[in-house]
Amino acid sequence: MRPPPERSAVSFGSRRSSPSSESGFVLIATLVALAVLVAIVVEFVYRVHVATARGSNFAQVQRTALLAGKGVELAEEALKEMLKSGPNIAIEKDGLFFTASEGDASVVVRVHDELGKASLRTVYPNGVKHGRAHPVFSRLLEGLGIKGREGIEDALADWMDDDDQPRAYGAEGPEHYLRLKAPYEARNGYPGSLGEVLMIKGFSPEVLSALKPFVSPYNTDGRVNVNTATKEVLLALSEEMNEELASNLMRRRTERPFRDRSEIMKVPGFEKAGYALMDGIRVESRMFSVHSRASSGEVSTEIEAVFEIGKGVLYWRRL
């Protein structure tokens, strides 16, 4: 027999990796580590940027709030100086403007006379209509074309009178306010601010926006300053007032503010019509509303305030 053929020997020993494969693995690991590191650095930088931006924004907000408050003080001091020569100044519809700046920040202040507006105190606490304020407010609503005039007049009166009996078109607590989803009582007193008026039935934001330039809760006796009243308010002073008379009066006060109520009789057309106005007008200013807006970069702060000369701030609100 022939011996079986010889088989070639085969080695099953381990293989060594080549230098090129090892370097490739190290390169991949390095790139992965670098990517993770870059992601961590980017996240850190982003967080630092956000924190810095928030800190800077907070500082700007604080700065503009301070400047807006200073704007109110600026207006008060400026009015005091203006009134040193006398309480009679003329202010037109756009109001008086004051400006100031500090570095890259600025403040713009607008001032209006609250006594040049129609009073919201249209009834006395006992519910009797105020002889001066109620007719002016009623004619103003009509002149401005406010819908639902009777309802607004009665609801305002019910809000202020001290009883709980609703008027024909009005509203009192049990019949209206206490039935709301978030119930509350009628004040049974005079509104403390224009914002409060939004709580009264019929005074929607649109109605209040239309009335805001012409009415005031701070005019306590109903007399209107003819040196500062807008044409809309002047037209509401009496049934005899018309566009021509109001224009004549405004032209005269621009030339020289009225220093006495009787001077209105010298305005063309008021030789007779002026008599009926004597009890319902004034010529002095002492109570003012202020809108102060301060800006720094993209940040701004607005403040509304009311102050009375000699008595200080009566109302303050940051918008």
Contact 267, 255 (CB under 8 A): no
pLDDT of residue 294: 94
pLDDT digits (tens, 9 = 90+) for 114-151: 999 999 999 999 999 999 999 999 999 999 999 999 99
Contact 118, 230 (CB under 8 A): no
Reduced to 3 states (helix: H, G, I; strand: E, B; else coil), residue 223 is coil
Calculate what percentage of the chain has a pLDDT beyond 90: 67
Nearest to 106 by CA among 303, 294, 297: 294
Burial (0-12, 13-18, 19+ Cβ within 10 Å), 252 = buried
Q: Is residue 26 over pLDDT 90?
A: no
Alpha carbons 6 and 13: distance in angstroms, whole number: 21
Per CATH, is 121-215 categorized as 1.10.40.60?
Answer: yes
pLDDT of residue 16: 46
Cα dist. 51→54, 58, 59, 79, 262 in Å?
Answer: 5, 10, 12, 42, 65
Alpha carbons 205 and 188: distance in angstroms, whole number: 22
Tell me the average pLDDT of the chain: 86
Residues of the chain with CATH 1.10.40.60: 121-215
The stretch 179-195 carries a mean pLDDT of 95
